[in-house]
Amino acid sequence: MVKPKKDQSTEEKILAAAKHVFMKKGMAGARMQDIADEAGINKALLHYYFRSKDKLFENIFLVQAKKFFPKIDMIFQSDLPLFEKIEHFADEYITEILENPYLPWFIMNEINRDPDKFLNKVWGKDNFPKPGKFLEQIEREVKKGTIKRISPLHLLMNLLSLTIFPFIAKPMISRNLKLDELQFREAMEQRKKEIPKFIIDSIKK
């Protein structure tokens, strides 16, 4: 028996439905039946296009990661002044994750499972992120006396952790601080300015 040819519009409809369900219920709470219902198809057809929920999740968020990482790398590679670069990073990262809140979890899981395989999927074998220019820029500003003596590596890690952590720890933060979804989003929007201000104030002379 010849299998029917997969239709691109149906596949796109499934991916859009799956993303909506994942965003609403999370990876653990989403069911294949929920995704089929959201897409307006039967479960058998869903399984024909995607064998498992894990495959769907990977497909959706791998695409997002491929779009997201190059944007961040472009900021680090740009000729912007250091302080503007820090501001752009925080704004770009938080904007992206607010729209794709499960992206950090996906990235962490894939990196812990097989970092080389994941990075090759996102970047290709010969094209990896290059934070070196950003680190060199920090060192130049230290030597010029624009900013205080600080390890470029630690400044980069501070920027990454301050931006990423609230999304990774969202269940704990929201529960303990009694924040609903709107309040959490508002707090993250505020962090677009708070993070750069905190870092810049701590390093500038």
Alpha helices by DSSP H, 30-169 = 32-39, 43-49, 53-77, 82-99, 103-113, 115-123, 132-144, 152-168
CA distance 140 to 85: 14
Q: What is the pLDDT of residues 128-172, one digit of tens each?
A: 678 899 999 999 999 999 999 999 999 999 999 999 999 989 989
Locus of tokens 């993303």: 19
Mean pLDDT, the chain, whole residue set: 87
Percent of the chain with pLDDT over 90: 52
Domain count along the chain:
2
Residues, the chain, total?
A: 205
Same domain, 174 and 97: yes
Residues 38 and 115 in one domain: no
- Global pTM reads 0.77
Average pLDDT estimate for 47-65 = 83
Range of the domain at 1: 1-51
Q: How far apart are CA 201 and CA 162, in angstroms?
A: 15
Asked if the model's pLDDT at residue 114 lies above 90, the reply is no
- 75 with 43, same domain: the answer is no
CATH code assigned at 35: 1.10.10.60
Residue 127: the pLDDT is: 66
- Say yes or no: 5 and 86 in one domain: no
